[in-house]
Amino acid sequence: MAKYSEWDRYTEKFGHICIPTTLFRALLDLTDEDALAALAERVGVELTNQITVFWFKKTNLETLLHFFSNASQYGKVGEAEIENKGRDYTMTIYHEYGKKWSTYLEHYLDKAIRTYLKAIPQFESTENTVTLRFQVP
């Protein structure tokens, strides 16, 4: 029930679909890395704002972190952990989708955080993990 009330009822309005992991990985493998990065940056600005404004009526630190947490938990973006100490934030996302998904997440999160939080994230990425750190102004 929580998945429906916190994720499905909202994302359905934006055309989200569920696909098997094997199909998702195959599609990623077929995608040009530059095109994937460009898509991630566009989605990081446009769709992120549309969804957070629709759900929370504004886009700010709290609503972005809530969205990222829900996307991790219900949207299967990856397993995310978010920690903060004062103005310093660390987010680690573990996933099973390979290096191209790490690239996508890096570009997506970079664009969203720079655009909406006016912060400059620092990234460390591997094939299945993306860690970013940023400080809110």
30's CB contacts (< 8 A; 6+ apart) are none
Domain membership flag for residue 102: yes
Question: What are the structure tokens assigned to 100, written together?
Answer: 């191209």
* CA gap 69, 2 in Å, rounded: 13
Count of structural domains, the chain = 1
- Residue 10 confidence (pLDDT): 60
Domain membership flag for residue 31: yes
The CATH number linked to 39 is: 3.30.1380
Q: Splitting the chain (137 residues) into consecutive groups of 10 residues, what average pLDDT does each group show? A: 60 69 90 94 90 91 92 86 97 95 96 96 97 96
Query: What range does the domain containing 64 cover?
Result: 2-9+20-135
- Residue 99 confidence (pLDDT): 94
